[in-house]
Amino acid sequence: MATHLSAADTRPRHKRVLPGLSLSLGTSLLFISLILLLPMTGLIMQSVDMGWDRYWQVISDERVVASYKVTLWAALLASIFNGFFGLLLAWVLVRYEFPGRRILDALVDLPFALPTAVAGITLATLYAQNGWYGDILESLGLKVAYTPWGIVLAMAFTSIPFVVRTVQPVLEELSPEEEEAGMTLGASDWSVFRRVIFPALWPALMTGIALSFTRSLGEFGAVIFIAGNMPYVSEITSLMIFVSLQEFDFAAASAIASVVLMASLVLLFAINLWQARYLRRLHGRS
Amino acid sequence: MKSKPRFLKSIIGTLLLSGAVQASAADQTILNTSYDIARELFAAYNPTFEQHWLDKTGKTIEIKQSHSGSSKQANAIMNGLSADVVTFNQVTDVQVLHDKGKMIPGDWKEQFPNASSPYYSTIAFLVRKGNPKNIQNWGDLAAQDVALVFPNPKTSGNGRYTFLAAQGYAQKTFGKNNEAQVDDFLGTFLKNVSVFDTGGRGATTTFVERGIGDVLITFESEVNNIRNQYGADNYEVVVPKTSILAEFPVAVVEKNVKKNGTEDVSREYLSYLYSEASQRLLAGFNYRVHNDVVKKEFADTFPEVDLLTVENIAGGWPQATKDIFTNGGKLDRLQRR
């Protein structure tokens, strides 16, 4: 019987665990302001006194533009890669029982826990000409370390948990009844996946990919150790920011940083809007 | 049963005691802010100075060390790190403490001998055993099939010295007015770089651990240290006939020592670097020194080099930064493909 009573029926509708909306909302807003908005404003303010001409000159510098291209392409490839393998990994973790599943599940978070510089050095060691993987890949004519591929690799490594961790809960919540209904109606496994499972997963997957993408845009530690950092070929935008800081040119650094910030914000907003619309359509509430 | 509480008590007692001892360990404390690869050097120097200060004044002193990239350190000091002295590997990083931070006097270079640079070094090459590409001088580095490793001049003082040294060599070879040919040489030189690490130690790792490149270009001190550390049999040191004078400037951070009341000891800490004993210690770490006695002792370690100065090559650091290393400068132009 208990299964028929959903949580909403048994609990008083507006039971408050935290005291008052105004207080909890106020606290949340205060901390968002202190931790997120204020530093961002500080970032913008640093570039304010440089004037539009100089701002434009800094962010449209040939070398900086080359770094945007490298960063964008690498982040795109890395997040697409993560889209496939993150989904696969989440699927395996949710749908199968096997010895060591818990350990594998915990390992997924490793890139988050690991200092990214350590990740970068480790990847560089493995993929360098004389490293374990690098040796094999070299004999196949593939060079990863110290080429743009190294950047893709480092970005994929540091951001794959985003995809797994956004897809996993949705996959867990997916009710088996819908799949069973599809099966009984004679649908093949593939068409059940394509028509039943995937549409429900799609928004979470897109969010995961977008998060992975934005994280990759800003990645620094892991990338610089394996990128080779050749001007116009394998320099990432974060390195350009770092270079400006080394020259004590804080205005230029924050100008370039503001471009990355804008790109990330626009992308995140776009994904959120799209997701809201998609979900409305999916649940037929348009 | 009885032993357990006693055991605990003794631990607590020891902890309290050591805490008390630590609190009263030194009459004064100063903080030396330094560049990355000087950690071992100052770890060796500090005890000798502590003894020297005790002998001289009867007071004890504790010296704390902080190491990181020297530009990063300069930033930290301007943002409030209460460093008493700086021992850097780049003149510009000290200068910025005056220009932007207003924390040291404009004449800081005159406060200690040799332009406030108690030791110096130059840029040298590390090649693999047998020197397979037969590299003897800067000219050999622009050959067609030579792969170079040195840190990015944009992010590393080490890399800036390397670039300027190469430019100095080219100016000497082709004539200072022959700018086209000098730039041509520098362009080829830059094209031969296989990895641009952000700092000196990163470049060392790339060359030694990852086995990339034919030549590692870095400070002579670092080159010798690597050879000592990774086996003299695997690498050879090449000191080119022409290279650059790399100064390691020091300064007392006036604004902080006045506040900390550590003016005297900080000044002494830096001047003691010029004493014969300290100069010998520095030479032991493969840095070149000014003291004549020590110079003679170590004559075998440091071959004669024609040392060009940054003033000679590029008209001083501010000029070099403006002409070469800044955004859109000569370095950017040469690297454009």
HEC-encoded secondary structure of A199-257: HHHHHHHHHHHHHHHHHHHHCCHHHHHHHCCCCCCCCCHHHHHHHHHHCCCHHHHHHHH
Task: Tell me, yes or no, whether B82 and B54 share the same domain.
Answer: yes
Domain residues for the domain of B253 are: 28-117+249-273
Question: Is pLDDT at B18 greater than 70 in this prediction?
Answer: no
Number of domains present in the structure of chain B: 2
Name the interface residues of B facing A (CB cutoff 8 Å): 69, 71, 74-75, 96, 100, 152, 154-155, 193-198, 202, 205, 209-212, 321, 325-328, 332, 335-337
Inspect the interface and report whether the beta carbons of A247 and B321 lie closer than 8 Å.
Answer: yes
What residue of B is the nearest CA neighbor of A120?
B202
Residue B127, H or E segment: strand B123-128
What residue of B is the nearest CA neighbor of A135?
B210
CATH of domain A39-284: 1.10.3720.10
Task: Tell me, yes or no, whether B105 and B153 share the same domain.
Answer: no
Shortest Cα–Cα distance, A260 to chain B (Å): 19
Mutation target for A interface from B195, B207, B212, B214: give the one with most A CBs within 10 A: B195
Inspect the interface and report whether the beta carbons of A247 and B326 lie closer than 8 Å.
Answer: yes
Query: Please, what is the average pLDDT of chain B?
Result: 89
Question: Is pLDDT at B21 greater than 60 in this prediction?
Answer: no
Inspect the interface and report whether the beta carbons of A246 and B155 lie closer than 8 Å.
Answer: yes
Question: Is pLDDT at B294 greater than 90 in this prediction?
Answer: yes
Q: State the CB neighbour count (10 A cutoff) for residue A1.
A: 4
Chain centroid to CA B328: 27
Q: Does residue B298 belong to any structural domain of this protein? A: no
Question: Is pLDDT at B263 greater than 90 in this prediction?
Answer: yes
The whole-number average pLDDT for the span B136-150 is 93
Inspect the interface and report whether the beta carbons of A229 and B152 lie closer than 8 Å.
Answer: yes
> Which pLDDT belongs to residue B312?
92
Task: Tell me, yes or no, whether B135 and B235 share the same domain.
Answer: yes
Question: Is pLDDT at B318 greater than 50 in this prediction?
Answer: yes
Question: Is pLDDT at B85 greater than 90 in this prediction?
Answer: yes
Task: Tell me, yes or no, whether B238 and B156 share the same domain.
Answer: yes
> Which pLDDT belongs to residue B290?
92
Q: Does residue B82 belong to any structural domain of this protein? A: yes
The contacts of residue A117 (CB under 8 Å, 6+ apart) are: A221, A222, A225
Quote ipTM for the complex: 0.74
What is the torsional sign of CA B123, B151, B311, B185? positive
Residue type, B291: N
Task: Tell me, yes or no, whether B147 and B224 share the same domain.
Answer: yes
Residue type, B136: Q
Task: Tell me, yes or no, whether B216 and B144 share the same domain.
Answer: yes
Task: Tell me, yes or no, whether B173 and B81 share the same domain.
Answer: no
Does A236 touch chain B if contact means CB atoms closer than 8 Å? no
Inspect the interface and report whether the beta carbons of B155 and A232 lie closer than 8 Å.
Answer: no
Q: Is the pTM above the cut of 0.90?
A: no
**B208-212, B259-263, B308-312 — which is least confidently predicted?**
B208-212
Question: Is pLDDT at B229 greater than 90 in this prediction?
Answer: no
Question: Is pLDDT at B148 greater than 60 in this prediction?
Answer: yes
Chunked in runs of 10, what are the mean pLDDT values of chain A (286 residues)?
A: 46 62 83 83 78 89 92 96 95 91 92 90 89 88 89 95 94 85 86 87 92 92 90 91 84 90 89 86 66
Task: Tell me, yes or no, whether B52 and B146 share the same domain.
Answer: no
CATH code of residue B65? 3.40.190.10
Cα–Cα dist B16/B65, whole Å: 25
Is the distance from CB of A216 to CB of A158 less than 8 angstroms?
yes
> Which pLDDT belongs to residue B13?
55
> Which pLDDT belongs to residue B14?
55
